Structure 1
Amino acid sequence: MASKIGISFCGDEDEITRAGMLFETLSRKSRLVMILDDIWEEVSLEKVGIPEPSTGSKLVLTTRSFDVCRKMSCRAIKVKPLVEKESWKLFSEKVGRDILNIPGVEPIAKKIAKRCAGLPLGVITVASCMKGIDDLSEWRNALKELREHKQSVNGLEDEAFQQLRFSYDRLKDPKLQHCFLSCALYPEDWRIEERDLVQIWIAEGLVEEMDSRQAEFDRGHAIMNKLLSNCLLEVFQGSDNDRSIRMHDLVRDMALHITSAKPRFLVKADMGLREPPKVQEWSEDLEKVSLMWNGELEVLYPLEMSPPKCPMLTTLLLPGCGIKSIPEGFFNHMDGLKILKLSLNPIKSLPNSISNLKNLTALLLAYCDHLEYVPSLSKLRVLKELDLRGTKIKEVPHGMQNLSSLKCLDLKHSIVLEIPNGILSKLSCLQILNVSETLVSGKEVGKLKKLEMVEGRFYDFQDLSMYLQAFHGREEPPKYIIHMGKRPFPAAILTTKGIELGDSNISNQIMLPRDIEELYAGNCTFCCHANYPLFSSGGL
């Protein structure tokens, strides 16, 4: 609001000061219309800094609650549903005239449109589900399903919930339905990064395993398009390659209603929690838990209580919760856990009970910038993704060589100096190796036949040569950034295929990859002969 009326906050003002600045600026405006959209509870205009409406100024708010109107002394104007003619016009635009021209479809389609009770969201959602359906029997069945739905949910009118639930049921594929429901793990009105969400789908096994990481993300992208085309999600911003999406609050209400039964979720994301969920909320039938972005939570579970028994729990999302410690035996009864995301927490060490999570596929600890200890990973033989970016661990965790299923290892911005020889060669499934400044053996990296992306520091130019020789007769990774020399801070490589040389004395010929796009040399000394080229392309 402040930015729209030309107010800039420094960042150190308290709420009272900010409200005063807003009030002073708004009070000077003789003509003003302000709209507060999607209000669910009473708003104190004084605390926000909004002057009481007067001559020449209007305050409009939209809400689904008459109680909010009453508490804020508003004149309530109920927006009427679309009349039948308007509903049909909207429905036919969304479903397409080509489908409605199929003999027998239009009369059924009109009955379906009428079932939407003039609610625009319902009309759009249901019509989008039926777009492209040219089988008359499917249209008859759709009408039958709509007539049979009688459930409702808090915050939704019966008719709206009925139509949204219909769209969910029309997904039919249980994996597709689970992909949709997992969107409700994020806070209300949250901008969800598509790659972040697809990463969870992959780790959960909702995206079938494929030969490459890129192929799995492409499949996740196709699933996302399916949910978008059914109007269950909407694009927040971005292009196809870098999208973020959001879930309409009514759709999220419907998803949370479904997950209050089976599959059972516990979702308290970005709710300002200062106390952990009650012990009884950690029920045995829980499948997914999200407490993300409760920055003042600090304590995940009461220390004095016995560990929760959640054998069906597969996903535990706890990023940004201010968690400083986790009880030692917390994970003792979570044998089914697949995804543990603890990113951006000030935790110093992880409990040893993590070592026994034999079904864990993703351990995500990015930017836990106090984290110094990770217990042994030797038993986590199905672990596919290990994210230790920005942590304070000094050595790779014990048991790394046993992670035979690992596909993605990320140590970027960590202080791990090197990955000891003999470890990488055991990680034959590795597709993404992003270790930035950490020293790795070029010879061992070259033996990783499934690698799609690598960034790391090689020991010397001989190591680079051995790496390139390993690709005789096969393609190099599509993306690589290799650092060489003693440069303390790596240069920014702007392409996807580059080598950085830093603080080096170069006198012998250096072999380079065939398809290199960028070579950066900083603070280097070169000694070369006119008849003896300093660099050669690895034409092996």
Structure 2
Amino acid sequence: MGLALNKIDKHWDNNRSLNQHMNDLKRKVMELNGVKEDIDSRMKAELQPRKKLKTEVQIWLENVERTNGEVQKLNERIGESSTLTRGFHADDVLKRTREVGELIQQGKFEEDLVVDNPQWIGQVLSTTRLSGEGTKACMEEIWKCLMDDEVGKIGVWGMGGVGKTSIMKLINNQLLQEREKFDIVIWITVSKEMSIAKLQKDMASKIGVSFCGDEDEITRAGMLLEALSRKRRSVIILDDLWQEVPLDKVGIPEQSTGSKLVLTTRSFDVCRKMSCRAIKVKPLVEGESWKLFSEKVGRGILNIPEVEPIAKKIVECCAGLPLGVITVASCMKDIDDLYEWRNALKELSDRKKSVNGLEEEVFQQLRFSYDRLKDPKLQHCFLSCALYPEDWEIEERELVQLWIAEGLVEEMDSRQEEFDRGRAIMNRLLNNCLLEDFSKWGDRRQVKMHDLVRDMALHITSEKPRFFVKAGMGLREPPNVQEWSEDLEKVSLMWNRKLEFLYPLEMSPPKCPMLTTLLLSGCDIQSIPEGFFSHTDGLKVLDLSFNLIESLPNSISNLKNLTALLLGNCRRLKYVRSLSNLRALKELDLLGIAIKEVPQGMQNLSSLKFLKLYSWNIDEIPNGIFPRPSCLQVLEVHQALIGGKEVAELKKLEYFEGRFYDFHNFDMYVHAFHVREEPHGYLIIVGERGRHGEIYSSKTIVLRVGSVYPNQIMLPRHIEELIVCDSSFESHEEEYPIFSRFFLTSLRNFPFLKILYISNVKYTKRLFSPNCVPPNLEQLKVSDCNQLEEIIASEERGREIIASEERGRVTMKFCLPRLKKMTLCSLPELKSICSVDAVMICESLEFLAIEYCWKLGRMPFKLPQVEPSSPLKVAIRPKPMELCESIEWADPDFKSFLIPKLIRWM
């Protein structure tokens, strides 16, 4: 009896302490997911094409996902327990807390998260098609030397613009096919500002060597030498070498049998001093130059009488240099006015200027293209590109934003119009070969400046307009007092990671009254002297992002002409003084800083158009911080709470990212844009903070609101992506589909809705009624809804249902013509995707995943013209073969197609 009483007492003690244990577990899980977020960020930075995730990291990530799921299920079990039985879960909660604590410790990976991918031997490079028999012969000679074990070093040399780099890019890609002959192919762009340290760093990143940061050059050379010696059959390509490189000081081993060193240079002496087999790339002969020019300018133009002889004389001025030919041809493309052709020839023939370090012929072509821009604003936009480091991949949006801030793009009614104008300027520069279209990431374009073009731009800005550019050069010492000259208009020291301070303390503040742009991002600057900005009254653009400053100097208040203040990712910045005096400010970036309250004086910034305001220490944006009326076009506060009325009153808003606490605030936002044009883009969270996966659309709503009641949700008209997660739909009629009863407007009335993601939604048995499915849906993912039984309910007919008699029964057909991806995961009660005897016609389906849906009894999909070679990918887990045998198939042909695919997926 006493033992039984002891157990009961222990149980009641457990019950009383359970809430505390559960709170401990919740805090631990939040900490664990915070660690996971940090790991995800590191992965994005480290997971390059030649790398793969370490097995231990992959296992840890899987354990985190599994543990999150188990904790969620434990919470559900406890929630379903009675008061009498809740205490029995105390041990389970303690066990999970210990497991989460262990995962937190395991997740503190001190070393890199990735290792070398053994299948990767080098990076494929973008190439251009080359012309001419001479070029072809040159490539064949280089390849012959590479295949010859007796030749260890090859020097490819020739004048600037002749095509050395283009040839070697093609050779590089061809070498990647020689896996049996070479272990690794390494491409390093050296550039004019070469240093042993930079070359060592670039080499280390290519072969996976990690420096701690405190090694000297000799130690680094030894580390590289050791790593490269293990890769006995290597090809190292050093592009754009301007002087002899002491290989032993860098850590590059002398070439042994099977290993090769290739360099490109403008100097034969470099080839000779480095004991290379020299191969000269010669200019194009006259016929080859004319053929290349004709291809680029268009034969239609050359058919105009009297144009062809003028064009041939212009080609002669290009001295057989492919860069010059392409540059001038692009400049004259689609020009059919004979007078313009004659004037172009005169301009080109009269050009007498030259640049130190550049061949006169090349400079003439490049300067010719620059001068023909004619519009001074276009020319200034081009010159601003030289503010970035050499060989820098410049994101188009960032560059256009700089042009807007500098006033080089005229002010328009909307930011979208300004960006459209900026993109048009960029296309003009690209079409004139003054910029190169380097790469794309989704819809985000990146551009680069050819190093010769950048040299020409820097030569122009050495006189007027006057620039001082030492970007990305590894500076440790700041510019001296003479370099801060009074006629400077723009200064860029960006991405000098070891700079740490701007000028010696004994130096008086710089006197640069004409300075309009100062770019200091990524320099690890720790502090800025109080008087630094005392004599820079004309400053318009100040970029201090990615630095280590904790506060700003008082002299920033003097910058009454400042239009852009960029402080993003200054993670130690704890205090931003009043901004009241900066009344010209149009762009303010306070993203990812450490301030605890919104800076004072925001309401005085009547010109402000662009605001990023997010600190992890600020959970809520106070009311009344914006000027009235407001010019704000872009507002990003991320997951900080903001009032719906505050946002609704921003009548010029074009992009918004933020969080509303409840539907009341969300409704105020939505109602405001029912009477005027809604923003071009938004990411809005309604409810609690939390992770919501990757966002794929520019107009996204995330609902994470706890309890939802009938007819409560109103959505913007042009929504593209809807995420509903961690919510419960409260109704006495649980059988009713949630997307019919809880949304004020049927989802079929949202023609732009493409992506729908439902996760961890409670008290829901059905999602859609037949007439409610979004007509243009492209992606549907439903996961972790423990009570869900049907995706499309069966109680009524609706849109796109075609009746046909088959053996006395009516077959309903749901047509989802644009559906590309469908995922159903962890739906233990799911019995059907759509009603019995119905089929889903999905002509565009590319991916289908059905995982852990134990009770699913029927596959309703009908895919017209499914061929064995179809790109459709299918995953069914677990035990797909057993499930396939027990399941009913609406389309036997689909089953026949599917089974071979499943074998490959197992």
Identify the TM-score tier after normalising by the shorter chain. over 0.9
Instruction: Tell me the distance in 1 between the aligned counterparts of 2:694 and 2:264.
Output: 48
Structure-2 change in CA distance of 1:528 and 1:424 (3 Å)? farther
Instruction: Tell me the distance in 2 between the aligned counterparts of 1:395 and 1:195.
Output: 29
More deviation in 480-489 or 336-345? 480-489
Instruction: Tell me the distance in 2 between the aligned counterparts of 1:484 and 1:56.
Output: 62
**Residue by residue, what CA displacement relative to the aligned partner does 1:224-267 show, whole Å, maximum 9, x if unpaired?**
11111111111111179311111111111101000000001000
**Contact map agreement 1:267 1:290 (CA 8 A) in 2:** yes
Give the one of 199, 208, 214 matched to 1:9: 208
Instruction: Tell me the distance in 2 between the aligned counterparts of 1:362 and 1:280.
Output: 27
More deviation in 386-395 or 497-506? 497-506
Q: Which residue of 2 aligns with 1:527?
A: 730
| Partner AA of 2:426 in structure 1 | M
TM-score by length of 2: 0.56
Q: Which residue of 2 aligns with 1:82?
A: 284
**Contact map agreement 2:595 2:618 (CA 8 A) in 1:** yes
2:673 is the counterpart of 1:474? no
Structure-2 change in CA distance of 1:85 and 1:10 (3 Å)? closer
| Partner AA of 2:526 in structure 1 | K
Q: Which residue of 2 aligns with 1:280?
A: 482
TM-score by length of 1: 0.92
Instruction: Tell me the distance in 1 between the aligned counterparts of 2:259 and 2:596.
Output: 61
**Contact map agreement 2:606 2:627 (CA 8 A) in 1:** no
Q: Which residue of 1 aligns with 2:363?
A: 161
Shift of 1:498: 3.3
**Contact map agreement 2:354 2:360 (CA 8 A) in 1:** yes
Structure-2 change in CA distance of 1:462 and 1:136 (3 Å)? same
Q: Which residue of 2 aligns with 1:460?
A: 662
Structure-2 change in CA distance of 1:107 and 1:51 (3 Å)? same
Give the one of 229, 236, 240 matched to 1:23: 229
2:387 is the counterpart of 1:185? yes
Q: Which residue of 1 aligns with 2:448?
A: 246
Instruction: Tell me the distance in 1 between the aligned counterparts of 2:236 and 2:504.
Output: 45
**Contact map agreement 2:583 2:605 (CA 8 A) in 1:** yes
Instruction: Tell me the distance in 2 between the aligned counterparts of 1:81 and 1:250.
Output: 16
Instruction: Tell me the distance in 2 between the aligned counterparts of 1:517 and 1:347.
Output: 39
2:307 is the counterpart of 1:105? yes
Give the one of 546, 555, 572 matched to 1:370: 572
Aligned residues: 535
Shift of 1:153: 1.1
| Partner AA of 1:9 in structure 2 | G
For 1:123-138, what aligned pairs fall within 5 Å after superposition? 123-138=325-340
Instruction: Tell me the distance in 2 between the aligned counterparts of 1:145 and 1:18.
Output: 51
Secondary structure, in 3 states, of the residue corresponding to 1:286?
coil
**Contact map agreement 2:481 2:510 (CA 8 A) in 1:** yes
Shift of 1:162: 1.2
Structure-2 change in CA distance of 1:71 and 1:482 (3 Å)? same
Q: Which residue of 1 aligns with 2:602?
A: 400
**Contact map agreement 2:499 2:524 (CA 8 A) in 1:** yes
| Partner AA of 2:246 in structure 1 | S
Shift of 1:494: 4.3
Instruction: Tell me the distance in 2 between the aligned counterparts of 1:10 and 1:110.
Output: 52
**Contact map agreement 2:596 2:615 (CA 8 A) in 1:** no
Give the one of 744, 750, 769 matched to 1:536: 744
For 1:237-386, what aligned pairs fall within 5 Å after superposition? 237-238=439-440, 241-386=443-588
Secondary structure, in 3 states, of the residue corresponding to 1:495?
coil
**Contact map agreement 1:203 1:339 (CA 8 A) in 2:** yes
More deviation in 5-14 or 520-529? 5-14
Instruction: Tell me the distance in 1 between the aligned counterparts of 2:691 and 2:329.
Output: 55
Larger radius of gyration: 2
Structure-2 change in CA distance of 1:240 and 1:526 (3 Å)? closer
Secondary structure, in 3 states, of the residue corresponding to 1:424?
coil
Secondary structure, in 3 states, of the residue corresponding to 2:261?
strand
Structure-2 change in CA distance of 1:431 and 1:43 (3 Å)? same
Instruction: Tell me the distance in 2 between the aligned counterparts of 1:240 and 1:145.
Output: 41
2:637 is the counterpart of 1:438? no
Shift of 1:507: 4.2
User: Which structure carries more relative contact order (alpha carbon 8 Å, separation 6+)?
Assistant: 1
Give the one of 223, 228, 238 matched to 1:36: 238
Q: Which residue of 1 aligns with 2:611?
A: 409
Secondary structure, in 3 states, of the residue corresponding to 1:443?
helix
**Contact map agreement 1:506 1:524 (CA 8 A) in 2:** yes
Instruction: Tell me the distance in 2 between the aligned counterparts of 1:49 and 1:280.
Output: 37
Q: Which residue of 2 aligns with 1:68?
A: 270
| Partner AA of 1:271 in structure 2 | M
Shift of 1:419: 2.2
**Contact map agreement 2:324 2:362 (CA 8 A) in 1:** yes
Structure-2 change in CA distance of 1:71 and 1:485 (3 Å)? same
Instruction: Tell me the distance in 2 between the aligned counterparts of 1:56 and 1:437.
Output: 56
Secondary structure, in 3 states, of the residue corresponding to 1:325?
coil
Q: Which residue of 1 aligns with 2:430?
A: 228
More deviation in 411-420 or 368-377? 411-420
Unaligned runs of 5+ in 2: 1-49, 51-115, 123-182, 185-205, 213-218, 750-906
Shift of 1:158: 1.0
Instruction: Tell me the distance in 2 between the aligned counterparts of 1:156 and 1:493.
Output: 47
Instruction: Tell me the distance in 2 between the aligned counterparts of 1:454 and 1:121.
Output: 44
Instruction: Tell me the distance in 2 between the aligned counterparts of 1:74 and 1:384.
Output: 55
Q: Which residue of 1 aligns with 2:25?
A: none
Instruction: Tell me the distance in 2 between the aligned counterparts of 1:444 and 1:434.
Output: 13
Structure-2 change in CA distance of 1:503 and 1:468 (3 Å)? closer
Instruction: Tell me the distance in 2 between the aligned counterparts of 1:320 and 1:9.
Output: 23
Structure-2 change in CA distance of 1:59 and 1:473 (3 Å)? closer
More deviation in 384-393 or 147-156? 147-156
**Contact map agreement 1:388 1:414 (CA 8 A) in 2:** no
Secondary structure, in 3 states, of the residue corresponding to 2:577?
coil
Instruction: Tell me the distance in 2 between the aligned counterparts of 1:79 and 1:110.
Output: 23
Structure-2 change in CA distance of 1:366 and 1:130 (3 Å)? same
**Contact map agreement 2:209 2:227 (CA 8 A) in 1:** no
**Contact map agreement 1:296 1:322 (CA 8 A) in 2:** yes
| Partner AA of 2:210 in structure 1 | G
More deviation in 88-97 or 313-322? 88-97
Secondary structure, in 3 states, of the residue corresponding to 1:387?
strand
- Give aligned-pair identity as a percent: 68
Secondary structure, in 3 states, of the residue corresponding to 2:482?
helix
**Contact map agreement 1:528 1:534 (CA 8 A) in 2:** no
**Coordinate RMSD, CA, aligned:** 2.5
Shift of 1:55: 5.8
Instruction: Tell me the distance in 1 between the aligned counterparts of 2:300 and 2:600.
Output: 62
**Contact map agreement 1:361 1:382 (CA 8 A) in 2:** yes
| Partner AA of 2:237 in structure 1 | I
| Partner AA of 2:677 in structure 1 | E
Instruction: Tell me the distance in 2 between the aligned counterparts of 1:134 and 1:521.
Output: 58
Structure-2 change in CA distance of 1:411 and 1:54 (3 Å)? same
**Contact map agreement 2:486 2:514 (CA 8 A) in 1:** yes
Give the one of 704, 728, 749 matched to 1:502: 704
Structure-2 change in CA distance of 1:537 and 1:454 (3 Å)? farther
Instruction: Tell me the distance in 1 between the aligned counterparts of 2:544 and 2:372.
Output: 34
**Residue by residue, what CA displacement relative to the aligned partner does 1:16-52 show, whole Å, maximum 9, x if unpaired?**
22321112322xx3xx765322112322323444443
Instruction: Tell me the distance in 2 between the aligned counterparts of 1:280 and 1:446.
Output: 52
Structure-2 change in CA distance of 1:535 and 1:80 (3 Å)? closer
**Contact map agreement 2:541 2:565 (CA 8 A) in 1:** yes
**Contact map agreement 1:395 1:417 (CA 8 A) in 2:** no
Instruction: Tell me the distance in 1 between the aligned counterparts of 2:255 and 2:684.
Output: 62
**Contact map agreement 1:425 1:447 (CA 8 A) in 2:** no
**Contact map agreement 2:516 2:538 (CA 8 A) in 1:** yes
